[in-house]
Structure 1
């Protein structure tokens, strides 16, 4: 692990020619950071200003400790519902903003600690706990949850409901009871149309900024507040001091569970985004250092009344298109936000809340990926089912249970592959060197009295019985083989349960006058087999370096010749 922060290394190698591009990209990025930061703060159940505090601190911290030159961190639409789901049960009745901020800041600190410790421990691989199909299902469920939660604000009213079905019912009742504010609905729907249209036909134009400017202009010109439209109002002036959140010890346990889930999602999101942009810029991805960079950013956010953050693919893309070369782009964005909240706190006074709802809804639409679900259905029905179950878990049970279900499904999917791996017998295919799967080459020739069996997985407690049953089944075929050769190259491990199974299997075949032969064992696996004592139970002459060597030995012993497939 490096001792010098990556930001210091980047500063030493900084080129003067990069400065104008970083400054311009930072200014462009700010136009996206401000409205999204405010909108995602409200998505997390927090005051709008906390989104700006969070954006500033995480950008500055990541610029020092983050390894990527271009990634942009900040409040994220995928984390907002998770933050809300974690802190909402702990906020006292009547909605206490100060306590909500304290809880969210503590949550950011816990996420930061988890990420930094995991980074120092080299645990970057934990991002793999979320498979692509379950992540697709999770994000689709999250998108639906976000959109449904923002619909009342889009229509100009609020509801008091918990859970997707209850929120849908409360929204429908509100519309039926005439609570809709037409002017707010016009602003919200118009904002969604503007953002989607610009993203579709003019992707280089900062769509969110254009929509926000238009919304503010219409609000001021038409005096929308008098028409019942709720506005953002004047933001608190100045930057918050270094603050340790004031919460009770009893709050830590429920916050810790949410912190682990948020850290997992943030890491998975960051690694996928970092990999995508690294390929385009020729950089390498340093998973453990990324964890430390994100963790430090969360620690900084938590100490200045912020909330957990992650990498944003959309904001990173904006920075890249604007010409960003280094993290000075993020520093510039943070500096401009500070100038705004210190000297221009009323800049977004006339911004309708419905416009912020439009920002969140368009972000949620970008999370949804129905096309991938359809592709999974065509390509692999089992993984499509996993995706749909993860979607249902998020939508019906909530965000935090949903992420738990997504992780559990990913792990169970791995277990399923290990439990029932692919296995086959091999034969000699015409015109193709080596031995091949008889399912792919049905006409492959076989040697009388010999079966070559391949098991494509580590031999573990979960699949030891499957392996045994299949080998015994091959041994009982008619005519019965003299040797059962295990092509063991795909077997990357043998645990103690599997070793005991091999002991028993070898004895069983011996009693039948048959022989268990192992070929192509990898060296690490061979050493384990020797440690278990298998080389004393199975005769050393029945271990072969290659399948070809085992076949040659059988032919030398029996004089068998290749025969056509039965």
Structure 2
């Protein structure tokens, strides 16, 4: 086969959109066109609202939406996922961009575009390195706490805009104080507050009671109509104004060299949150359609979408579960749905740039606040409190990290807490003594079965974790305590089936422990060692010290040997 032929065969794998186009069915066309049209009614107002949430001009939200839809349609593996500006990323983008922009909108756009390029590069490089598993670094409890904190941060930040005034504050506590101060000083605009509060109520009511009606679009249309009828602009209500006509040219953003460090830190956090959100959404919708989800390919798709957005004055984007659900409910079959949405938005900004000039800013704030509220998961928090207080504490700590330290430090806190929780479970794993229970085969936890029988002079001990440097001291202390009695046992058998690994530090500990127990007349035996673990112990030279006759394939074999040597009989656990 020629090189050209091999390249053509590899093209669908490298550019999944080509493969989707080649296998497209004519019967899907109408559904994709309808779904794309319906989706556009949500993409436009949300794109503009989330751009302002990120501290950027509304038009950049449309630029980012167009380009990410095109980029993912070409390089994304999923047939149904919809990417775009996202409420969970908006505060993270603002945290990275706004302090560096110094109030200059053009500089803010350039910084946000560079941030998108960095996110795209991080995603693609991570995919090449096979690092899709990093999405697992954020546990569910810490993610719940992080999103709760993010939702509160967004709502507090948007309330002044909803009520028609601005605040100059940095951080949740400062923003709360500024909000209260502004209300006390009478800065709220009654007409703006009426528009914003009515917008929230309308969206919530329509989504709850009339889910087939496009709630956001309906609210936006009514808000624009109210502006025309009631002349809200003359009553102190800020309006979006006329959007720039046309589409921006291909542009590589220019930023200062000393800004790159701050942007890169933000890009890492955004990439992690975006990947976790995308994988979870892809799994949910993939299960419905039977499509296999591959994390590394999704990373390439997200990376391509962010690169495309960054080259055309956009900002970082992610998967949207709500927009994907709208597309799926509308009958979307392929990424042609997203292409239709991108084309319609292009036509709007080229031919009808003034379409949203009378849209009140409080209406955009209403869109953001209702989206932020959907991020919060109070029932899940209450469930954690009822079921597992330690995970509730992790969730609460992640919430406080976002609320008190800020959005970007908050994601670092969430990841750090998740990793520490994994380490804690391996550091102090569950450990117990086993006994025999009448009517149940095998050997069981004496804590769960207090009436379990034991053989006098024999302790069967289980340590539910791999043995490594961090928990070697914990294991040694537990076995030493068991060896001290009272009464001191003749044998301690380690039920080693849960031990999936033993590192060199733990091997040295076992060597010393064996010597100490041997000096006390206590035999240390192992049962059910996995073959890879046994091979490591042999490589470490530990089996030269341990008596090979005390390595048993099963617990029954160990118990039978002990009974044969001692004549011991089963008795109730003391």
Per the TM superposition, whether the score is higher than 0.5 is yes
Match of 1:399 in 2: 407
Once the two structures are superposed, the pairs formed by residues 95-114 of structure 1 within 5 Å of their partners are 95-114=103-122
Equivalent residue in structure 2 for 1:65, among 70, 75, 99: 75
SS of residue paired to 1:451: strand
Deviations 1:75-131 (CA, angstroms, capped at 9, x unpaired): 000100000000112113xx1111000000000000001000101111011111111
Deviations 1:363-415 (CA, angstroms, capped at 9, x unpaired): 01001111111111111111111111111111111101111111111111111
- Once superposed, which parts of structure 1, at least 4 consecutive aligned residues long, lie more than 6 Å away? none
**CA-CA distance at 1:479 after TM superposition:** 2.5
**CA-CA distance at 1:13 after TM superposition:** 1.6
Q: How far, CA to CA, are the matches of 1:296 and 1:523 in structure 2?
A: 44
Q: How far, CA to CA, are the matches of 2:26 and 2:525 in structure 1?
A: 67
Indicate yes or no: 2:93 matched with 1:83. yes
Indicate yes or no: 2:347 matched with 1:343. no
Q: What 5-or-longer segments of structure 1 have no aligned partner? A: none
SS of residue paired to 1:363: helix
Equivalent residue in structure 1 for 2:127, among 112, 119, 125: 119
Once the two structures are superposed, the pairs formed by residues 452-531 of structure 1 within 5 Å of their partners are 452-531=460-539
Indicate yes or no: 2:377 matched with 1:359. no
SS of residue paired to 2:494: strand
Indicate yes or no: 2:174 matched with 1:166. yes
Conserved 8 A contact 2:122-2:271: yes
Conserved 8 A contact 2:13-2:19: no
**CA-CA distance at 1:497 after TM superposition:** 1.1
Equivalent residue in structure 2 for 1:10, among 10, 14, 20: 20
Of stretches 296-305 and 197-206 in structure 1, the one that deviates more from structure 2 is 197-206
Q: How far, CA to CA, are the matches of 1:474 and 1:173 in structure 2?
A: 63
Equivalent residue in structure 2 for 1:184, among 189, 192, 211: 192
**CA-CA distance at 1:531 after TM superposition:** 1.3
**CA-CA distance at 1:250 after TM superposition:** 1.1
Deviations 1:454-490 (CA, angstroms, capped at 9, x unpaired): 1111111111111011111111112222111111111
Indicate yes or no: 2:36 matched with 1:26. yes
Once the two structures are superposed, the pairs formed by residues 29-68 of structure 1 within 5 Å of their partners are 29-68=39-78
Indicate yes or no: 2:426 matched with 1:441. no
Match of 2:284 in 1: 276
Once the two structures are superposed, the pairs formed by residues 219-230 of structure 1 within 5 Å of their partners are 219-230=227-238
Equivalent residue in structure 2 for 1:450, among 440, 454, 458: 458
Q: How far, CA to CA, are the matches of 2:198 and 2:532 in structure 1?
A: 63
SS of residue paired to 2:433: strand
SS of residue paired to 1:244: coil
Q: What TM-score do the two structures reach when normalised by structure 2?
A: 0.97
Equivalent residue in structure 1 for 2:222, among 214, 223, 237: 214
Conserved 8 A contact 2:112-2:316: yes
Q: How far, CA to CA, are the matches of 1:281 and 1:106 in structure 2?
A: 35
**CA-CA distance at 1:334 after TM superposition:** 0.7
Of stretches 22-31 and 551-560 in structure 1, the one that deviates more from structure 2 is 551-560
Conserved 8 A contact 1:7-1:67: yes
Q: What TM-score do the two structures reach when normalised by structure 1?
A: 0.98
Conserved 8 A contact 2:327-2:337: yes
SS of residue paired to 1:137: helix
Conserved 8 A contact 1:62-1:296: yes
Match of 2:338 in 1: 330
Q: How far, CA to CA, are the matches of 1:204 and 1:543 in structure 2?
A: 66
Q: How far, CA to CA, are the matches of 2:366 and 2:291 in structure 1?
A: 35
**CA-CA distance at 1:153 after TM superposition:** 0.5
Equivalent residue in structure 1 for 2:540, among 532, 536, 542: 532
Q: How far, CA to CA, are the matches of 2:531 and 2:368 in structure 1?
A: 54
Of stretches 490-499 and 5-14 in structure 1, the one that deviates more from structure 2 is 5-14
Equivalent residue in structure 2 for 1:248, among 238, 250, 256: 256
SS of residue paired to 2:454: coil
Deviations 1:31-61 (CA, angstroms, capped at 9, x unpaired): 0000000000000000000000000000111
CA RMSD in angstroms comes to: 1.1
Q: How far, CA to CA, are the matches of 1:243 and 1:460 in structure 2?
A: 52
SS of residue paired to 1:365: helix
Q: What 5-or-longer segments of structure 2 have no aligned partner? A: 1-9
Match of 1:564 in 2: 572
**CA-CA distance at 1:3 after TM superposition:** 4.1
Match of 2:208 in 1: 200
Match of 2:386 in 1: 378
Deviations 1:435-464 (CA, angstroms, capped at 9, x unpaired): 111111111111122111111111111111
Deviations 1:248-290 (CA, angstroms, capped at 9, x unpaired): 2111111111100110111111111111111222221111111
**CA-CA distance at 1:335 after TM superposition:** 0.8
Of stretches 273-282 and 459-468 in structure 1, the one that deviates more from structure 2 is 273-282
Q: How far, CA to CA, are the matches of 2:525 and 2:241 in structure 1?
A: 78
Q: How far, CA to CA, are the matches of 1:150 and 1:4 in structure 2?
A: 41
Conserved 8 A contact 1:148-1:168: yes
Q: How far, CA to CA, are the matches of 2:29 and 2:410 in structure 1?
A: 44
Match of 2:553 in 1: 545
**CA-CA distance at 1:428 after TM superposition:** 1.1
Deviations 1:198-251 (CA, angstroms, capped at 9, x unpaired): 111112221111111111111111111111111111111111111000112111
